Amino acid sequence: MFYEWNSMKITAISDIHGNFNDSVVDLVKASDITLCLGDLVEFGEITTKAFDFLLQLKSAGKFLMIPGNCDTDCLSSFLEYHDGLNIHKKTVDYSGFSFAGFGGFVDAITYSRAMRAHFLSGTETFIESTLAQIEGSSWIKDFMQTLGLRFEGKKLVASPESDDLILGWDKFRSSCEFEENEIYDFFVLNASDCDIWLSHTPPFGFPGSERMGGFSIGSKGLLNAVVARQPQFVISGHIHCGGVWQLGKTICFSVPPMSENYALILNIDTDSTLTHEVIRIM
């Protein structure tokens, strides 16, 4: 892990979701390294245009990528084939810095069980808020049914078959899902000496990662690994909003979505100063 910082300009993009903006090429050329944190496409919608876009970025400068929860096995194979692109479950040294990457999302079964427990332990205010949300959103009602939850008056209860419903939760599943212990073990056992950790999913509790009912869609495995090993930086996407979070000595960045033409620029100087800015790609 570095103590005397090298100078580096890092561009980070995430959650592209099919918005293959050619102007990103100029960002790659102007940066020392560009990092893509996944979700190149929508669920399963991989096309030759997506592959051409990645090859264009790779030819413009140093470029590393991890897959997101929307990305398919086909993309993972593509990244493996083109040497130097993929950093999922790998570490890479470049220009005096060491990077470690882990893509994808927390296993949907684990996640949905945790969310169900979160709902069932809710306060009266939480229950009233959830009822109000259901009135304005059929999607939330459908989602709760998928978790095996229903309201009896103002009481939230789990159906007897709720676990069977969760085990059959296929429509929200991804081909790039991992158990929390896999995420934790990778970073703690393989990336302890790496300066910069890349993850599609942010650490659990990252501000802005709260979704329905205030439940964070971050990773507890990543959170625990950061607390245990304290890398210099963690850069993540997935939650479609920018933000900065200090965890001990670690600075965690969330990259806003490139689907809305955003990118994050980090400038690290040799005098140990760090600046960052969110830019709109035109």
pLDDT tens for each residue of 43-96: 666 778 888 999 999 999 999 999 998 887 777 778 777 878 889 999 999 998
The arithmetic mean of pLDDT across residues 94-123, rounded, is 80
| DSSP per position, 237-262 | -SSSS-EEEEETTEEEEEPPPGGGTE
The mean pLDDT value of the chain amounts to 84
Distance CA 267, CA 32 (A): 10
Predicted TM-score of the model (pTM): 0.84
Q: Which residues pair with 243 in a beta bridge?
A: 254
- Return the amino acid letter for 173: R
- Residue 257: the pLDDT is 95
Q: For residue 30, what pLDDT band results from cuts at 50, 70 and 90?
A: very high
- Residue 1: the pLDDT is 45
- Residue 81: the pLDDT is 75
Distances (CA, A) of 155 to 61, 119, 120, 151, 166: 56, 11, 9, 6, 21
Ordered domains of the chain (ranges, CATH): 8-104+174-280 (3.60.21.10), 108-167 (no CATH)
Distance CA 252, CA 224 (A): 13
Q: For residue 157, what pLDDT band results from cuts at 50, 70 and 90?
A: confident
Residues contacting residue 77 through CB under 8 Å, at least 6 positions apart: none
Beta-strand runs (E) in 42-114: 63-65, 90-94, 97-102, 105-106
